[in-house]
Chains A and B, each alone.
Chain A
């Protein structure tokens, strides 16, 4: 059974800082990995999708890496802004049922002005 862990559970940083969020998964037989952000009481916004054959994806100030063999992914946020404050969720799609995502509990990020 796939288990996804995100560390830290919460993170508070000053504006402008570069930061890294971590995600680990127990079963390396994944189809893909997706990072989302969630604002309070809202749905999920897709940030980056990494297929199992890829090592990283970039979008603007965001860069996500994937190391399948070690069961790890990181989300790097450059030059953080108060608007980046949200919960960041990591989810993996399994090879057997790739449309079924297994989520971590998320990292609550607060960027202080």
Chain B
């Protein structure tokens, strides 16, 4: 069974640009969660999608958004990038037991 796939693995963007990250969950998993990991704040929850609906949202500005498609793949978008958005973005695929399985992450650097 394939694991969680995140693309791209690395990104370098300029302040003010926007970026889209992609996550393909484990086959059969309908819930996808996104997290931001930084050295200072650790891992922080962004949002969770289930069957194309956002069910939970963390405390992040509206520049951070996401969506989920009918095949459970998910994307997250960050608009008007700031230097502080530089982080490792992790996607988790959740089974019915609520166990979370994480991808390798996308390392975003904003310059």
Contact = CB atoms under 8 A, between A and B. Distances in A.
Interface in B64-111: 88, 90, 92, 94, 97-105, 107
The secondary-structure label for the interface of chain A is: strand
Contacts, number: 66
B56 interface: yes
A43 B99 contact: no
B42 A105 contact: yes
Interface residues of B, number: 28
B56 to A, nearest CB: 5
Interface residues of A, number: 25
Contacts of A61: none
23 contacts: A32-B99, A34-B100, A36-B102, A41-B88, A42-B105, A43-B103, A44-B90, A44-B102, A46-B100, A46-B102, A49-B98, A51-B97, A93-B98, A97-B56, A99-B56, A99-B94, A99-B98, A100-B45, A101-B33, A101-B45, A101-B100, A105-B42, A106-B42
Nearest to A51: B97
Interface of A: 31-32, 34, 36, 41-46, 49, 51, 89, 91, 93, 97-106
A32 B98 CA distance: 8
Contacts of A45: 102
Q: Which 5 residue pairs spanning A and B have beta carbons closest together?
A: A103-B43, A44-B102, A43-B104, A43-B102, A97-B56
Nearest to B91: A43
